[in-house]
A and B are shown apart, each in its own frame.
Chain A
Amino acid sequence: MTELSININGEHIKADVEPRLSLADFIRDRQRLTGTHLGCEHGVCGACTVLMNGEPVRSCITFAAVADGSEITTIEGFDQDEPMAQLRQAFHENHALQCGYCTPGMLVAARDIVTRLPDADEDRVRLELAGNLCRCTGYVGIVKAILSVLEQRRI
């Protein structure tokens, strides 16, 4: 077992974890924060994307033990976050989800796009979304939602 000291959504947590436990499994199974979803579990689909020290990472290919000392924000931790509030509303208005499985990771990736790339156009948004798979929507609603938030934030 390895000692782990980690901050998740503002709560400081100390735990003993098996080295092979992924950050995603720690978040879901040990912290019961099941908003973070697991799809491919090898870094391709993006469903498990969370913020680690403010940057999006794949929680399925990051071991919990390696995340020691870091600050994690999962989809449950964005209540007071302005860009995420804008994105939630825009996803709702633009029908940017159907089954919702990809949505937690999609929103974390979308937040990265609207904060890191304020000048992104549609081509750039689509390129950035290459790392998040959605098999329902065909991306049209997701792209529209992200572009509308980019537009709001430019005003």
Chain B
Amino acid sequence: MKPAKFEHQRMASLDEAVKALGNAEGETRVLGGGQSLGPMMNLRLAQPDVVLDLSKVEGLDGIEETGNAIRVGARVSHARIEDGEVPGKTGDYMQFVATGISYRSVRNRGTIGGSVAHADPSADWPSALLALGGSVTAAGGNGIRTISLDGFTVGPFSTGLGWDEILTGFELPVLGTDANWGYYKVNRKPGEFADAIGAVTLGVEARAVCGATESAPFRVTEIEERLASGVQEVSIAEVRDILDRYDAGFDDYELQIHAVALSRAVQGAFA
């Protein structure tokens, strides 16, 4: 057995899970699909005292379109998104992102909510969803709360969730049928965590994200302004100059691959 000892509590409902989290003593982690937390526990990078297992909690795995938003439950697996269950253009973008996450046998269990709540800086969803916009819904001791995806990821393994809150799902914008999007991930082998991510969507507003940084992904407003004014190409050198003005802690190599990722994401959006 590789992980350190912990107490496993099987949750029957979201209410039970919120109460258990509020009353927990010691380090408590919420387990979705366990595809990030599992490896970290096997490597003993994470050593929680208590694990609250959501795998039997119902009502967190729905996908529905409600007028101008798409609701995606926290426990929706990457595989279901890969298989096209999210509708429309938003679904096309998310399908592309999901297909590049790890491997099918991991995507079958790994969840979108788990990925965003875990907030590994190299993971796909924190960057991809920031480029889409919308919000996170969370349940806690004080009820249900909606939190903007802008600024939700605060830093490595750190989010806007309160200590007693559980991420329950997302409300995501519906991209129009003619909306452009692009996503580019720099990694050595398909399925690996990203070395750099560039993500662009042109929905109600233009959003451009530099992701897989050492901390939180961030929006690049200079590029968003150009896209909003109709520019359809930004060279790697231009992106490099722009990113160099951010305090992202990139060394020369990191600056280059992040510039490549974002430039190619823009290219992909208009391909």
Main secondary structure of the interface of B (DSSP, over half): loop
B102 interfacial contact with A, CB 8 Å: yes
In whole angstroms, what is the CA distance A127 to B6 when docked? Answer: 36
> Is A102 at the interface (CB under 8 A from chain B)?
no
Cβ contacts A14-30/B at 8 Å (1 or 0 each): 00001111100100000
Residue B105 contacts which of A18, A22, A58, A65 (CB distance < 8 angstroms)? A58
Contact of A131 among B42, B53, B103 (CB under 8 A): B103
Asked if A18 contacts B1 (CB within 8 A), the reply is yes
Closest to B99 in A: A127
CB-CB under 8 A from B35, the residues of chain A are: 43, 58, 61
Please measure, in the bound complex, the distance between the C-alpha atom of A13 and the C-alpha atom of B2, giving whole angstroms.
23
Tell me the smallest distance from the CB of B256 to a CB of chain A, in Å.
25
A40 CB to closest chain B CB (Å) equals: 9
**Do A43 and B106 touch across chains, with their CB atoms under 8 A apart?**
yes
Contact partners of B189 in chain A: CB under 8 A: 130
Q: Which of A115-155 contact B (CB under 8 A)?
A: 116, 127-128, 130-132
Q: How extensive is the interface on chain A, given as a class?
A: 20 to 34
> Does A109 have its Cβ within 8 Å of any Cβ on chain B?
yes
Q: Tell me, in angstroms, the Cα distance from A18 to B51 when the chains sit together.
A: 13
Q: Is the CB of B105 within 8 A of A57?
A: yes
Q: Across the interface, do B105 and A109 meet the contact criterion of CB distance under 8 Å? A: yes
In the complex, whether B176 has a CB less than 8 A from a CB of chain A is no
Residues on the B chain within 8 Å of A49, using CB: 105
Determine the chain B residues whose CB is within 8 A of the CB of A18 once the complex forms.
Answer: 1, 5
CB-defined contacts of B217 to chain A, threshold 8 Å: none
A55 touches B39 (CB 8 A): no
- Beyond A25-B1, A131-B103, A131-B104, whether A61 also contacts B10 by CB under 8 A is no
**CB of B145 within 8 A of chain A?**
no
Q: Is the CB of A19 within 8 A of B51?
A: yes
Residues of B within 8 Å of A62, CB to CB, are 34, 38, 109
Tell me if A46 and B103 are in contact (CB < 8 A): yes
- Which chain B residues have a beta carbon within 8 Å of chain A's beta carbons? 1-8, 10, 31, 34-35, 38-39, 41-43, 51, 53, 55-56, 79, 102-106, 108-109, 189-191
